[in-house]
Amino acid sequence: MFWKRRDGHASTELQCEVEGCDFICHDMLTLQKHTFKKHPGLQLRCKVEGCDFTCTEFMTMEKHMAWKHPQAKEASPSAKS
């Protein structure tokens, strides 16, 4: 699953969420491979506000998102102040 934006960016930048890691790529598969290689056993956290779901596999997280937050998809980075 790839989500594309049409607001001028050719592709969406995905950044590794691990603190101190500045790995950036443009597709989820690459990010998954990076995460598994560089950060084995990493806990993934649900990004949805108010949800404290965690897991260690992207597959599980994708299922969780699809089941629990079907509308969330990739939340647009709306900066709240």
Residue 25 identity (one-letter amino acid): C
Q: Does 16 bind Zn ion (CB under 5 A)?
A: yes
Q: Bridge partners of 15?
A: 24
Stretch that binds Zn ion, among 3-11, 24-32, 55-63, 66-74 (CB under 5 A): 66-74
| DSSP result, 31-59 | HHHHHHHHSTTPPEE--STT---EES-HH
Question: Which of the residues 28 through 57 are near Zn ion (CB under 5 A)?
Answer: 38, 46, 48, 51, 53
Interface with Zn ion by CB under 5 A: which residues?
Answer: 16, 18, 21, 23, 38, 46, 48, 51, 53, 68
